[in-house]
Amino acid sequence: MEEGLEMIILQENCYICGNHSNFSIPEGATLLREATCSKCGASIRNSDTAKIIVNKITGKSCSLSESLGTLNSVNILEAQSLGPINRVLCELPGYSCFEYIDSVAPGYSNEYGVMSNDLENLTYKSNSFDLVISQDVLEHVNNPTKAFSEINRVLMMGGYHIFTVPIHEQKPTISRSNLPKVFHGDPLRQDGALVCTDWGNDICKFIDQYGMETEKFMVHNFYSPSEITNVDESYEEYLKTEAIYYYRYNSIVFASKKVRSL
């Protein structure tokens, strides 16, 4: 494969920067939701997440960058300290973010000033946030029950958890605790982040046990259910193939509204 060749996957508005952009990815890649905006570098997944955030929190259809005035009074918690959404929101007075840092106790910062926290044991007060954002995080938590309960606790009534996870369509959610180990790329961990759960079509039903009402938005549908990656049927290929040339997932965003306290 010739180095440097790119495929344009989409030509549309980016909901991070607001520009009409090409979203491209290296030739031959399969993880199409990670194609990036030619203007700001946000992925399709980032842009789709921003689109749902703006729609649910402001009722508008503009970009995240164009919504800062409306979001100025919104209390936001993001479960990552880097990335396009963080870059847009980080100066807002009500914005907080964190990473799960193995070597730093929850509620404390590392030497770079990054707050450590744990979705299974958040140090924030109850009813603190209007919005919690997580992108491809919840497949990595050891105890999803604790994580969704904690998200419910820190959200105000009527607040939203807007998030993405890889979805294994037309399949039930399974724990990977007794399956071959799978890791996703992680800037904080050389070996990557261990996948604990393969989320399936029943994810909304699972979450709604914890005081939420969850909507699923298929924002960009690239693959049929039969084409979605099944790592346990192609584990040897997984071991030797770069992630963007191996995984196949659609760009799905979930908006989970707190409707009762636990």
Compute the distance between CA of residue 59 and CA of residue 109 in angstroms, rounded to an integer: 34
Cβ–Cβ < 8 Å for 262, 211: yes
Looking only at the bridges linking them, the beta strands covering 251-258 and 155-164 are antiparallel
CB-based burial label for 260 (10 Å; 0-12, 13-18, 19+): exposed
pLDDT at 3: 56
Token code pair at residue 106: 């929850």
| Bridge partners, 76 (sequence order) | 95, 131
Dihedral in degrees, nearest 10, Cα atoms 91, 95, 101, 106 = 140
Cβ–Cβ < 8 Å for 217, 254: yes
Look up the pTM and report it.
0.96
pLDDT tens digit string along 115-124? 999 999 999 9
CATH of the domain at 203: 3.40.50.150
pLDDT at 64: 98
Residues spanned by the domain of 183: 70-258
Low-confidence stretches of the chain (pLDDT beneath 50): 1-2
- With respect to residue 136, please indicate whether it lies within any of the assigned structural domains: yes
pLDDT at 1: 42
- With respect to residue 9, please indicate whether it lies within any of the assigned structural domains: no
Number of domains the chain is built from: 1
H or E element that contains 125: none
pLDDT at 251: 99
Phi, psi of 52 (to 5 degrees): -70, -35
Of 35, 33, 43, 41, give the one whose Cα is nearest residue 7: 35
- With respect to residue 81, please indicate whether it lies within any of the assigned structural domains: yes
pLDDT tens digit string along 162-220? 999 999 999 999 999 999 999 998 876 778 899 999 999 999 999 999 999 999 999 99
Q: Write the DSSP string, 191-259.
A: T-EEP-EEEETTHHHHHGGGSEEEEEEEEE--S-GGGS--GGGSHHHHHHS-GGGT----EEEEEEEE-
The distance from CA 62 to its chain's CA centroid, rounded to whole angstroms, is 20
| Bridge partners, 134 (sequence order) | 163
- With respect to residue 161, please indicate whether it lies within any of the assigned structural domains: yes
